[in-house]
Amino acid sequence: MKIQPLEEEVAATNTQETSGEPQAAVKTSKAKAKAGSSEDVLTIHRKIDKVVEGKRKQKIYALTSANGVWFKLNQSNITVYDENTGKVRAIRYCVNEPSIFLDEQNKDSIREHIIFREGLIAVNVNRANLQDYLDAHPDNFKNGGSLFSEVNTDAKATASLDVEFLIHDAVGIVRDKSIEELLPVAIYLGVDIEQKNNEIKRELLLEAKNNPDAFIKLFDNPIVKARAVVVQAIDYNIIKVTRDSVSWSETNRPIVSVAAGQDAQDVITRFLLQDKGAAVYEDITAKLAMIS
């Protein structure tokens, strides 16, 4: 059927007085709110946890392949090249030893097991020696190993935030666009447009959340609109499709042939977007516009 809808205070600065003298108020700055006017905007000072050289943070290490629920890292006879001394030195992890180098540790210190659980181990800043040990371990991916690597939590957080923003944008499209603007995408996605508007939007909302990036791009895709026109033209018997051709329903005059194994709707959709199909596209849309 034809695409047709079924339903039509800026924060103020507080000043306290003590013994007649006003205390220091929070500073404000002027910002343009709209042409010809301005508002006081509260200046908020934040302490950002800047990652500077030498400052530690929690690290997470992950096994590069599945090794069960519980995995103990090998610590027997582990040696590394120490650039500071130019020597190959033995390392081991002992809880109470500040250094990971065996020759700097007390001979009575006890080595501690390093356990990956569910393929992960999180190491807080108060276990600096364990971070140093894992960073230096030859099985670490960055050292040429293949057993485990540090998880880039900053990159994961950024990627997660990007996805959340995309979902927000996609959901906003479903919320803000008119049903007329949404119907071509609904048809392209195979949503039943005979439903009420809210039911159509509900199905589109699920699509938007499942794949927000692809969903947003559909609204700028000319194939989406052309496919909607084709589906409507077939529903209204303006054109008809068979296994080997697409033709005008009224005259049986062929529009385009369909090769074996190809989908007729895909063929006519792409044909309409070509220069040789432009006149047919205009003709079909004109016929649809005449249908009330």
Q: Per-residue pLDDT tens for 200-222?
A: 999 999 999 999 999 999 999 99
The range of the structural domain enclosing residue 197 comes to: 156-220
Please tell me whether residues 94 and 79 are part of one structural domain. yes
Degrees to nearest 5, angle at CA 264 with 260 and 267: 95
Please tell me whether residues 196 and 216 are part of one structural domain. yes
Q: Tell me which of 102, 129, 151 is where a domain ends.
A: 151
Cβ contacts of residue 71 below 8 Å, gap of 6+?
63, 115, 116, 117, 119
Residue 4 domain-assigned?
no
Residue 267 domain-assigned?
yes
Please tell me whether residues 207 and 260 are part of one structural domain. no
Largest CA distance in the chain: 98
Q: Per-residue pLDDT tens for 89-107?
A: 999 999 999 999 999 999 8
Beta bridge partners of 37: 34
Q: What is the mean pLDDT of residues 266-282?
A: 94
Query: How far is the C-alpha of 241 from the C-alpha of 248, rounded, in Å?
Result: 9
Instruction: Give pLDDT, residue 154.
Output: 73
Q: Tell me which of 129, 151, 173 is where a domain ends.
A: 151
pLDDT-above-70 percentage for the chain: 82
Please tell me whether residues 76 and 144 are part of one structural domain. yes
Instruction: Give pLDDT, residue 23.
Output: 46
Structure tokens at 274: 């070509």
Q: Tell me which of 134, 151, 168 is where a domain ends.
A: 151
Number of domains in the chain: 3
Q: Per-residue pLDDT tens for 124-161?
A: 989 999 999 999 999 999 999 999 999 887 777 777 78
Q: Lowest-confidence range among 51-65, 237-251, 266-280?
A: 51-65
Question: pTM here?
Answer: 0.50
